[in-house]
Amino acid sequence: MADMRILYTADLHGNPDFYRKLFTLATRKKAGVVIVGGDLLPKTGEYANLINEQRRFIADTLRPLLHAFRDSNPAVDVLLMMGNDDFSINMHLLEEMEEEGLLKLLHMRVHPLAEGLSIAGYGCVRPTPFSCKDWERYDDQQKILQPGPYKPVVSTLDGLLDIDEQEWFSSHPTMQEDLEQLARMSDPKKTIYVIHDPPWNTNLDVLYGGQHIGSAAVRRFIEQHQPSAVLSGHIHESPKVSGKITDRIGETLCVNPGQTEAIFQGVMIDIPGYKVKPL
């Protein structure tokens, strides 16, 4: 397997300084590939206007940054995917940038990464107590919802649409079903998976109160297929609570670098060997 250095982060939530830090580090550390594992776009401000805010961020901030990075690092791929706080109605803007060669999209896709190694992604998460349901799915056949104080919505061309949660989740595959499809599309033993929701009951899915809230479907996927690595995010505080940014399920390395509002969090992963170093 050829040597490769991966710069991985997640949950940047439209922070321009974090994106600049990411691309500066990628250049300085000579990364071979840059990966953002979900939750790309802003989530603050008036909720009813967030679709437009995220659209503006893509056009006015993300696109210029990607152009500048490609111009100075033409051989370095940027791979990314939306997460549960990103409105899927704006996906076409990322697809347009993919056509321009500025990025590669990861959700339910498989890309060659290095000699003998591929990378694939999955951006959905199990139900949360938050409003946007675009990227939420039942974890598995248990069909557990997480009711919260916010009304459930999805993004449409006409804005945010109120939905019935049970109808929404029942009309989509479960995470378990999606992940099995992704396994059929790839060779798990030779694939790194970027999965926004971390595996359940690990160092990577712990809330401040100590509760493990990761995905059981992701854990079963790892236990069954034993990929070389799974890179996650979503639970920002978990590394601070557990004191760990890595865990292992069998032979699989699992990583969640966490994220904060003040200090950029990311990791370098050197292959072969899968040596993980926080940035």
- Return the pLDDT at 180: 98
* 31-45 residue pLDDT tens: 999 999 999 999 988
CA dihedral 60, 63, 68, 69 (to 10 degrees): 140
pTM: 0.97
* 84-114 residue pLDDT tens: 999 999 999 999 999 999 999 999 999 999 8
Domain ranges in the chain are 4-278
pLDDT category at 79 given cuts 50, 70, 90 is very high
* 152-170 residue pLDDT tens: 999 999 999 999 999 999 9
- Return the pLDDT at 115: 86
pLDDT > 90? residue 266: yes
What string of H, E and C letters represents the secondary structure of the chain?
Answer: CCCEEEEEECCCCCCHHHHHHHHHHHHHCCCCEEEEECCCCCCCCCHHHHHHHHHHHHHHHHHHHHHHHHHHCCCCEEEEECCCCCCHHHHHHHHHHHHCCCCEECECCEEEEECCEEEEEECCECCCCCCECCCECCCCCCCCCCCCCCCCEEEECCEEEECCHHHHHHCCCCHHHHHHHHHHHCCHHHEEEEECCCECCCCCCECCCCCECCEHHHHHHHHHHCCCEEECCCCCCHHHHHCCCEEEECCEEEECCCCCCCCCCCEEEEECCCEEEEC
- State the pairing for strand pair 267-271/4-9: antiparallel
* 199-245 residue pLDDT tens: 999 999 999 999 999 999 999 999 999 999 999 999 999 999 999 99
CATH number for 4-278 (one of 3.40.190.10, 3.60.21.10, 3.30.1360.200, 2.60.40.10): it is 3.60.21.10
The mean pLDDT value for 70-75 works out to 97
- Return the pLDDT at 147: 80
pLDDT > 70? residue 2: no
Taking all residues of the chain, what is their mean pLDDT, rounded to a whole number?
Answer: 96
- Return the pLDDT at 207: 96
